[in-house]
Amino acid sequence: MKVKKVLVVDDNIDIQETFFQVLEYFIKGVEILRAYTVREAKEFFMENSDINLIVMDAQLSTEGIAETVEIIKKFRKTFKGPMIAASTSLELNKRLVKAGCDYQTPKDDIIDTLKKILS
């Protein structure tokens, strides 16, 4: 079975840990790349050309929505896989979709969305 790589960009450690635990339990063969900043997201993206899916939070503690929108646009130039906007704010999710995300979902529904896309 080929491992599916998911880049999760979210500054909340608890959310990252939940993604990791739930995805490992429900979806076999998933590797989670955890980025807490835009800079880390860029590094993971450059080092892993085989990423299958990207989950983006809208506002990270060190960066705002403008930086997140810019990184989505940059990723979208070469990344053809699905990107999910996963903010607690519906309005911010809409901005991320406009920037290039394919899906939007509230954080409490993200696991169901990920399971649908990855299965």
Q: How far is CA 32 from the centre of its chain?
A: 10
Counting Cβ atoms within 10 Å, is residue 23 exposed (0-12), middle (13-18) or buried (19+)?
A: buried
What are residue 84's phi and psi, to 5 degrees?
Answer: -115, 125
How many domains in the chain? Answer: 1
What is the span of the domain harbouring residue 72?
A: 4-118
Q: Which two tokens stand for residue 107?
A: 């954080």
At 1 the pLDDT is 53
**What residues are paired with 8 via a beta bridge?**
34, 55
- Pick the residue with more confidence: 78 or 31? 78
Q: How far apart are CA 99 and CA 115, in angstroms?
A: 23
At 38 the pLDDT is 93
Q: Helix, strand or coil for residue 29?
A: coil
Amino acid at 36: Y
Residue 78 sits in a domain of what CATH number? 3.40.50.2300
pTM for the model: 0.91
Contact yes or no for 52/118 (Cβ under 8 A): yes
pLDDT of 5 over the 60 cut: yes
At 47 the pLDDT is 97
- pLDDT tens readout for residues 9-63: 999 888 888 878 877 777 778 888 999 999 999 999 999 999 999 999 988 877 7
Winning range, highest mean pLDDT, from 20-24, 72-76, 105-109: 72-76
